[in-house]
Protein backbone atom coordinates (compact mmCIF):
# COMPACT_ATOMS: atom_id res chain seq x y z
CA UNK A 1 0.00 0.00 0.00
CA UNK A 2 1.39 3.39 -0.94
CA UNK A 3 -1.60 5.65 -0.26
CA UNK A 4 -1.01 7.38 3.10
CA UNK A 5 -3.60 6.64 5.78
CA UNK A 6 -3.47 9.89 7.71
CA UNK A 7 -6.15 8.84 10.17
CA UNK A 8 -4.24 5.68 11.08
CA UNK A 9 -1.06 7.67 11.67
CA UNK A 10 -2.88 10.15 13.89
CA UNK A 11 -4.57 7.37 15.88
CA UNK A 12 -1.21 5.72 16.49
CA UNK A 13 0.42 8.96 17.60
CA UNK A 14 -2.35 9.73 20.08
CA UNK A 15 -2.11 6.21 21.50
CA UNK A 16 1.68 6.51 21.67
CA UNK A 17 1.42 9.74 23.65
CA UNK A 18 -0.91 8.04 26.12
CA UNK A 19 1.39 5.04 26.47
CA UNK A 20 4.51 7.12 27.03
CA UNK A 21 2.83 9.27 29.66
CA UNK A 22 1.40 6.28 31.52
CA UNK A 23 4.74 4.50 31.68
CA UNK A 24 6.71 7.57 32.75
CA UNK A 25 4.16 8.32 35.47
CA UNK A 26 4.42 4.73 36.66
CA UNK A 27 8.21 4.95 36.89
CA UNK A 28 8.13 8.32 38.66
CA UNK A 29 5.49 7.06 41.10
CA UNK A 30 4.75 10.57 42.31
CA UNK A 31 4.06 13.31 39.76
CA UNK A 32 1.42 13.29 37.04
CA UNK A 33 1.29 14.86 33.60
CA UNK A 34 -0.80 18.00 33.25
CA UNK A 35 -2.36 18.51 29.82
CA UNK A 36 -2.99 21.70 27.88
CA UNK A 37 -4.82 21.58 24.56
CA UNK A 38 -4.11 24.32 22.05
CA UNK A 39 -5.24 25.49 18.63
CA UNK A 40 -2.95 26.42 15.77
CA UNK A 41 -3.41 29.86 14.23
CA UNK A 42 -4.12 28.31 10.82
CA UNK A 43 -5.62 24.87 11.37
CA UNK A 44 -5.15 22.05 13.82
CA UNK A 45 -3.47 22.11 17.19
CA UNK A 46 -2.27 19.69 19.78
CA UNK A 47 -2.14 18.52 23.34
CA UNK A 48 0.92 19.23 25.45
CA UNK A 49 1.59 17.16 28.55
CA UNK A 50 4.18 18.22 31.12
CA UNK A 51 5.25 16.46 34.31
CA UNK A 52 7.15 18.54 36.86
CA UNK A 53 8.82 18.09 40.25
CA UNK A 54 8.63 14.32 40.23
CA UNK A 55 10.61 11.82 42.26
CA UNK A 56 12.53 10.70 39.16
CA UNK A 57 11.84 13.42 36.60
CA UNK A 58 12.50 17.04 37.38
CA UNK A 59 10.58 17.68 34.18
CA UNK A 60 9.29 15.59 31.31
CA UNK A 61 7.21 16.54 28.31
CA UNK A 62 5.26 14.40 25.87
CA UNK A 63 3.58 16.47 23.17
CA UNK A 64 1.27 15.67 20.27
CA UNK A 65 0.58 18.12 17.46
CA UNK A 66 -1.28 18.03 14.16
CA UNK A 67 -1.14 21.23 12.14
CA UNK A 68 -1.68 22.25 8.53
CA UNK A 69 -0.95 25.26 6.40
CA UNK A 70 -0.76 26.64 2.88
CA UNK A 71 3.03 26.60 2.58
CA UNK A 72 5.87 24.85 4.37
CA UNK A 73 8.44 27.09 6.07
CA UNK A 74 12.03 27.35 4.89
CA UNK A 75 13.26 24.90 7.53
CA UNK A 76 11.26 22.13 5.82
CA UNK A 77 11.33 23.17 2.16
CA UNK A 78 14.78 24.65 1.51
CA UNK A 79 16.19 21.23 0.53
CA UNK A 80 12.98 20.05 -1.12
CA UNK A 81 12.12 22.31 -4.09
CA UNK A 82 9.23 20.01 -5.09
CA UNK A 83 7.37 21.14 -1.97
CA UNK A 84 7.05 24.75 -3.11
CA UNK A 85 3.45 25.89 -3.41
CA UNK A 86 1.98 22.85 -1.66
CA UNK A 87 -0.37 22.69 1.28
CA UNK A 88 0.90 20.54 4.09
CA UNK A 89 -0.08 18.59 7.16
CA UNK A 90 2.42 17.78 9.89
CA UNK A 91 1.79 15.60 12.90
CA UNK A 92 3.98 14.02 15.49
CA UNK A 93 4.75 13.06 19.07
CA UNK A 94 7.87 14.38 20.78
CA UNK A 95 9.25 13.44 24.18
CA UNK A 96 12.01 14.84 26.37
CA UNK A 97 12.88 13.75 29.91
CA UNK A 98 15.05 15.72 32.32
CA UNK A 99 15.68 13.49 35.34
CA UNK A 100 16.56 14.90 38.75
CA UNK A 101 19.30 12.35 39.49
CA UNK A 102 22.41 13.23 37.44
CA UNK A 103 23.18 9.54 37.02
CA UNK A 104 20.01 9.08 34.94
CA UNK A 105 20.45 10.34 31.36
CA UNK A 106 18.23 12.82 29.61
CA UNK A 107 16.35 11.19 26.75
CA UNK A 108 14.60 12.40 23.62
CA UNK A 109 12.27 10.60 21.22
CA UNK A 110 10.22 11.75 18.27
CA UNK A 111 7.96 10.26 15.60
CA UNK A 112 6.52 12.53 12.92
CA UNK A 113 4.66 12.43 9.61
CA UNK A 114 4.42 15.06 6.87
CA UNK A 115 2.31 15.20 3.75
CA UNK A 116 2.38 17.97 1.14
CA UNK A 117 -0.35 18.16 -1.50
CA UNK A 118 -1.07 20.08 -4.69
CA UNK A 119 -4.16 19.73 -6.91
CA UNK A 120 -3.53 17.49 -9.90
CA UNK A 121 -0.22 16.13 -8.58
CA UNK A 122 0.69 13.12 -6.42
CA UNK A 123 1.07 13.86 -2.74
CA UNK A 124 4.55 13.93 -1.23
CA UNK A 125 4.78 12.31 2.19
CA UNK A 126 7.45 11.06 4.57
CA UNK A 127 8.11 9.85 8.11
CA UNK A 128 10.87 10.96 10.44
CA UNK A 129 11.94 10.43 14.02
CA UNK A 130 14.20 8.45 16.28
CA UNK A 131 15.53 8.50 19.83
CA UNK A 132 18.81 9.61 21.39
CA UNK A 133 20.40 9.57 24.85
CA UNK A 134 22.30 12.30 26.70
CA UNK A 135 24.08 11.01 29.82
CA UNK A 136 25.85 13.16 32.37
CA UNK A 137 27.79 10.24 33.83
CA UNK A 138 28.58 7.39 31.50
CA UNK A 139 28.00 3.68 32.07
CA UNK A 140 29.14 1.54 29.18
CA UNK A 141 26.57 -1.20 29.81
CA UNK A 142 23.76 1.38 29.64
CA UNK A 143 24.92 2.75 26.30
CA UNK A 144 25.37 -0.74 24.88
CA UNK A 145 21.83 -1.66 25.99
CA UNK A 146 20.49 1.54 24.42
CA UNK A 147 22.12 0.81 21.07
CA UNK A 148 21.29 -2.89 21.12
CA UNK A 149 17.64 -1.97 21.56
CA UNK A 150 17.90 0.48 18.66
CA UNK A 151 19.55 -2.22 16.58
CA UNK A 152 16.79 -4.72 17.39
CA UNK A 153 14.13 -2.19 16.31
CA UNK A 154 15.82 -1.82 12.93
CA UNK A 155 16.84 -5.43 12.25
CA UNK A 156 13.51 -6.63 10.74
CA UNK A 157 13.92 -3.96 8.04
CA UNK A 158 17.45 -4.93 7.02
CA UNK A 159 20.91 -5.24 8.56
CA UNK A 160 21.97 -1.96 6.99
CA UNK A 161 19.22 0.12 8.64
CA UNK A 162 20.68 0.48 12.14
CA UNK A 163 24.22 1.47 11.03
CA UNK A 164 22.76 4.01 8.60
CA UNK A 165 20.39 5.64 11.10
CA UNK A 166 22.97 5.43 13.91
CA UNK A 167 25.44 7.43 11.81
CA UNK A 168 22.69 9.88 10.83
CA UNK A 169 21.91 10.39 14.52
CA UNK A 170 25.58 11.03 15.31
CA UNK A 171 25.74 13.63 12.55
CA UNK A 172 22.49 15.35 13.43
CA UNK A 173 22.95 15.63 17.20
CA UNK A 174 26.36 17.24 16.91
CA UNK A 175 26.94 20.71 18.34
CA UNK A 176 29.01 22.31 15.62
CA UNK A 177 29.97 25.42 17.57
CA UNK A 178 31.27 23.23 20.42
CA UNK A 179 32.71 20.53 18.17
CA UNK A 180 31.18 17.80 20.31
CA UNK A 181 28.21 15.40 20.26
CA UNK A 182 25.16 16.25 22.33
CA UNK A 183 25.15 12.73 23.73
CA UNK A 184 25.75 9.12 22.77
CA UNK A 185 23.27 8.96 19.90
CA UNK A 186 20.76 6.32 18.96
CA UNK A 187 18.58 6.51 15.85
CA UNK A 188 17.62 9.38 13.57
CA UNK A 189 15.76 9.16 10.26
CA UNK A 190 13.95 11.58 7.99
CA UNK A 191 12.39 11.68 4.51
CA UNK A 192 11.36 8.03 4.87
CA UNK A 193 8.89 7.07 2.11
CA UNK A 194 10.38 3.88 0.66
CA UNK A 195 9.54 1.15 -0.17
CA UNK A 196 5.87 1.95 0.58
CA UNK A 197 3.60 3.60 3.14
CA UNK A 198 2.79 0.42 5.05
CA UNK A 199 6.42 -0.52 5.64
CA UNK A 200 7.40 3.02 6.59
CA UNK A 201 4.48 3.32 8.98
CA UNK A 202 5.36 0.00 10.64
CA UNK A 203 8.94 1.16 11.11
CA UNK A 204 7.84 4.47 12.62
CA UNK A 205 5.57 2.56 15.01
CA UNK A 206 8.41 0.25 16.04
CA UNK A 207 10.68 3.22 16.74
CA UNK A 208 8.04 4.94 18.84
CA UNK A 209 7.23 1.79 20.78
CA UNK A 210 10.90 0.83 21.15
CA UNK A 211 11.88 3.93 23.11
CA UNK A 212 10.60 2.71 26.47
CA UNK A 213 12.39 -0.62 26.06
CA UNK A 214 15.62 1.31 25.53
CA UNK A 215 15.20 3.89 28.28
CA UNK A 216 13.31 2.50 31.26
CA UNK A 217 15.83 -0.23 32.19
CA UNK A 218 18.50 2.47 32.45
CA UNK A 219 16.27 4.60 34.67
CA UNK A 220 15.55 1.66 36.96
CA UNK A 221 19.24 0.75 37.21
CA UNK A 222 20.47 4.25 38.08
CA UNK A 223 17.66 5.85 40.06
CA UNK A 224 18.96 4.78 43.49
CA UNK A 225 22.52 6.05 43.03
CA UNK A 226 23.30 8.73 45.62
CA UNK A 227 24.39 12.11 44.29
CA UNK A 228 25.43 15.44 45.69
CA UNK A 229 26.18 19.04 44.81
CA UNK A 230 29.16 18.17 42.60
CA UNK A 231 27.08 15.90 40.38
CA UNK A 232 24.20 18.37 40.34
CA UNK A 233 26.40 21.25 39.22
CA UNK A 234 27.93 19.16 36.44
CA UNK A 235 24.46 18.07 35.32
CA UNK A 236 23.30 21.68 35.14
CA UNK A 237 26.41 22.64 33.20
CA UNK A 238 25.92 19.84 30.67
CA UNK A 239 22.26 20.78 30.35
CA UNK A 240 23.58 24.03 28.92
CA UNK A 241 24.85 22.05 25.93
CA UNK A 242 21.38 20.55 25.52
CA UNK A 243 19.81 24.00 25.51
CA UNK A 244 22.37 25.30 23.03
CA UNK A 245 21.65 22.51 20.57
CA UNK A 246 17.89 22.89 20.77
CA UNK A 247 17.99 26.66 20.31
CA UNK A 248 20.78 26.91 17.75
CA UNK A 249 20.84 23.67 15.78
CA UNK A 250 17.56 21.76 15.98
CA UNK A 251 15.38 21.84 12.85
CA UNK A 252 12.33 20.74 14.81
CA UNK A 253 12.50 23.80 17.06
CA UNK A 254 12.91 26.05 14.03
CA UNK A 255 10.03 24.38 12.19
CA UNK A 256 7.69 24.82 15.13
CA UNK A 257 8.52 28.48 15.55
CA UNK A 258 8.36 29.22 11.81
CA UNK A 259 4.93 27.60 11.48
CA UNK A 260 3.48 29.59 14.36
CA UNK A 261 3.19 26.69 16.77
CA UNK A 262 2.65 27.08 20.48
CA UNK A 263 5.94 28.42 21.84
CA UNK A 264 5.54 26.87 25.30
CA UNK A 265 5.06 23.45 23.71
CA UNK A 266 7.96 23.87 21.30
CA UNK A 267 10.36 24.89 24.05
CA UNK A 268 9.24 22.27 26.56
CA UNK A 269 12.38 20.37 25.51
CA UNK A 270 14.57 22.88 27.36
CA UNK A 271 15.81 21.88 30.83
CA UNK A 272 13.98 23.47 33.79
CA UNK A 273 17.29 24.53 35.37
CA UNK A 274 20.62 25.05 33.64
CA UNK A 275 23.90 26.89 34.10
CA UNK A 276 26.86 28.04 32.03
CA UNK A 277 30.45 28.42 33.25
CA UNK A 278 33.11 30.25 31.30
CA UNK A 279 35.98 28.07 30.04
CA UNK A 280 35.08 25.10 32.23
CA UNK A 281 37.30 22.02 32.17
CA UNK A 282 36.65 18.90 34.25
CA UNK A 283 39.23 17.73 36.75
CA UNK A 284 41.82 15.33 35.37
CA UNK A 285 40.93 11.63 35.81
CA UNK A 286 37.47 12.51 37.18
CA UNK A 287 34.15 10.92 36.28
CA UNK A 288 33.26 14.19 34.62
CA UNK A 289 36.32 14.01 32.37
CA UNK A 290 35.45 10.38 31.61
CA UNK A 291 32.20 11.54 29.99
CA UNK A 292 34.18 13.56 27.45
CA UNK A 293 36.96 11.06 26.85
CA UNK A 294 35.02 7.80 26.74
CA UNK A 295 31.43 8.65 25.81
CA UNK A 296 31.18 11.92 23.87
CA UNK A 297 33.21 10.43 21.04
CA UNK A 298 32.51 8.71 17.74
CA UNK A 299 32.15 5.05 18.64
CA UNK A 300 30.44 1.86 17.53
CA UNK A 301 28.66 0.58 20.63
CA UNK A 302 27.35 -2.71 19.23
Which residues contact residue 280 at a Cβ distance below 8 angstroms, ignoring those fewer than 6 apart? 237
Q: What is the pLDDT of residue 1?
A: 58
Ligand-binding site membership of 98 (annotated): yes
- For residue 99, being part of any structural domain is answered with yes
- For residue 301, being part of any structural domain is answered with no
Q: What is the pLDDT of residue 74?
A: 64
Which residues contact residue 175 at a Cβ distance below 8 angstroms, ignoring those fewer than 6 apart? 181, 182, 241, 244, 245, 248, 249
Ligand-binding site membership of 147 (annotated): yes
Residue range of the domain that includes 19: 6-295
Which residues contact residue 279 at a Cβ distance below 8 angstroms, ignoring those fewer than 6 apart? none
Ligand-binding site membership of 261 (annotated): yes
- For residue 239, being part of any structural domain is answered with yes
Q: What is the pLDDT of residue 231?
A: 98
Q: In this structure, what CATH number is given to the domain that contains residue 247?
A: 3.40.1500.10
- For residue 81, being part of any structural domain is answered with yes
| Cα 301 from Cα 174, distance rounded (Å) | 17
- For residue 1, being part of any structural domain is answered with no
Ligand-binding site membership of 111 (annotated): yes
- For residue 139, being part of any structural domain is answered with yes
- For residue 264, being part of any structural domain is answered with yes
Q: Based on the structure, what is the number of domains in the chain?
A: 1
The whole-angstrom distance between residue 198's C-alpha and the CA centroid of its chain comes to: 23
DSSP 248: I
Q: What is the pLDDT of residue 261?
A: 73
Q: What is the pLDDT of residue 8?
A: 98
27 three-state secondary structure: helix
- For residue 302, being part of any structural domain is answered with no
Catalytic residue annotation:
108
Whole-prediction pTM: 0.94
Ligand-binding site membership of 260 (annotated): yes
| Cα 131 from Cα 147, distance rounded (Å) | 10
Closest to 86 in 3D by CA, of 76, 74, 71:
71
Block means of pLDDT (10 residues each) for the chain, length 302 residues? 89 98 97 91 86 98 92 66 83 97 98 92 94 98 98 98 98 96 97 96 98 98 98 98 93 80 86 97 97 95 97
Amino acid sequence: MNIPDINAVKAFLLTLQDKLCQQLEHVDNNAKFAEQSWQHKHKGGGRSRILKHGTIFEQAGVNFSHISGKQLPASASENRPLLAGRRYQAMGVSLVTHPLNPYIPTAHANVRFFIAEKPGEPSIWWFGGGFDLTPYYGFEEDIIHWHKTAQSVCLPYGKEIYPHYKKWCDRYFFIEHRNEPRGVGGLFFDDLNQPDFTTCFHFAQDVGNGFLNAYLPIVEKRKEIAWGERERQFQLYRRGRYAEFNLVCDRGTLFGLQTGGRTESILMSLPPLVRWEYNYHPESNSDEEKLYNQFLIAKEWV
